[in-house]
Amino acid sequence: EAKRAGGGDYAIFDASMREDAVGRLMLQTDLRQAVERDEFHLAYQPIVNPATGAIRSFEALLRWNHPTRGAISPADFIPVAEEIGLIRQIDRWVMREACAQLSGWQRRFANPDLKLSINTSSAAFAECGFVATLAEVLREFAIRPQSLELEITEGIFLHPSPEIAETIAAIRRLGVRVALDDFGTGYSSLSYINRYPIDTIKIDKSFIDGIGTNRQTRAIVELIVRLGDTLDLNIIAEGVETQEQTDMLMHIGCRAIQGYHFAEPLSARDAGERWHATTASEVNRFPRGEGR
Ligand code: C2E
Ligand code: MG
Ligand code: MG
Ligand code: MG
């Protein structure tokens, strides 16, 4: 099934490709070459304040442009990359690429407030040396750690270990924030936020879908937003597609939303322009970086 994304539609990626052995093998081989052949790029989806439309940050989303099959969704190739042990390399590429882009934007717009979040797979996260790599990339691109947030999924906690808690703590000691992605889809979502020091919760799209029509779903989302206020967690609603959902979320008190209703994942250039346009009025009132 084709899926919409920034900069065009994904090509039809036949699900049977994934299942039959020959198709899998081809995908694995192509994926290995993709890294060397520079076939990846990042799209950037704004996270906005629903009341003002102001962009709070961007989420970097990986894109693979296959030479013959066209765009393939990360939902299709990331599991394969995990299987063949390529995900660490890919996630490292994402980290460097995202930080290079962020530092470019921060210099170009003379605005250090621009923030970015990056997805991390559990395999890359659990790798020893992950935090050292992160610190190194921050230094290399002169990124303030406060500008960065790492998104992890609840899959990380499937095999709980003291190392995971220690890695999260070490990342936060660096000054980088940690977000729990797809919140509510795991086995024991509430216990995770009780056990691990998290800064941000991203409420999964499956809850947002039902918010306008399902009283029960709305009550759950409202509860998560209240919990965020009480525990001092940032709450982001994912996959917001309609004005009705936006209104409902504002009514509930959610202060950050992400979804096609406001913006799809954008090319780096479009994202930069969008950021520039929405902050231009403030920059004009409070000029920064004069002479640049
Ligand atoms: P995610 O991190 O939960 O990202 C949100 C996904 O929902 C993205 O799909 C985004 O394009 C899509 N989306 C955003 N707003 C809407 C909306 O209003 N409606 C709908 N239907 N979808 C929306 P995408 O880019 O295909 O990524 C899928 C997943 O692949 C991500 O889910 C994330 O888990 C993973 N992923 C993406 N980039 C990376 C990466 O650089 N590294 C790793 N490890 N995983 C990544
Ligand atoms: Mg994410
Ligand atoms: Mg998500
Ligand atoms: Mg996801």
Distance CA 210, CA 204 (A): 11
Average pLDDT in the chain: 88
- For residues 249-270, average pLDDT: 97
Q: Whose CA is nearest to atom 7 of ligand 1?
A: 239
pLDDT at 245: 97
pLDDT for 87 beyond 60: yes
pLDDT at 289: 37
Do 46 and 271 contact (CB within 8 A), yes or no? yes
pLDDT for 41 beyond 70: yes
pLDDT for 120 beyond 70: yes
Closest atom of ligand 1 to 181 CA is 3
pLDDT at 137: 98
pLDDT for 66 beyond 70: yes
What ipTM did this prediction achieve? 0.98
pLDDT at 262: 96
pLDDT at 280: 62
The alpha carbon of 81 is separated from its chain's Cα centroid by a whole number of angstroms, namely 18
Distance CA 102, CA 251 (A): 32
| Ligand 1 first shell, C-beta below 6 A | 5, 45, 61-62, 73-75, 78, 91, 94, 119-121, 151, 181-182, 239-241, 258-260, 265
Q: Which long-range contacts (CB under 8 A, 24 or more apart) does 156-160 make?
A: 156/122, 156/125, 156/126, 157/186, 157/188, 157/192, 157/196, 158/122, 158/187, 160/195
Q: With bands split at pLDDT 50, 70 and 90, how would you rate the model's confidence at 19?
A: low
pLDDT for 1 beyond 60: no
- For residues 237-252, average pLDDT: 97
Q: With bands split at pLDDT 50, 70 and 90, how would you rate the model's confidence at 26?
A: confident
pLDDT for 17 beyond 80: no
Distance CA 237, CA 284 (A): 31
Mutate which of 87, 119, 122, 264 for ligand 1? The one with the most ligand atoms within 8 Å of its CB, which is 119
pLDDT at 18: 57
Task: Look up residue 48 and give its two tokens.
Answer: 């906005």
pLDDT for 291 beyond 50: no
Q: Residue 79: nearest ligand to its CA?
A: 1
Least confident range from 11-20, 229-238, 258-267: namely 11-20
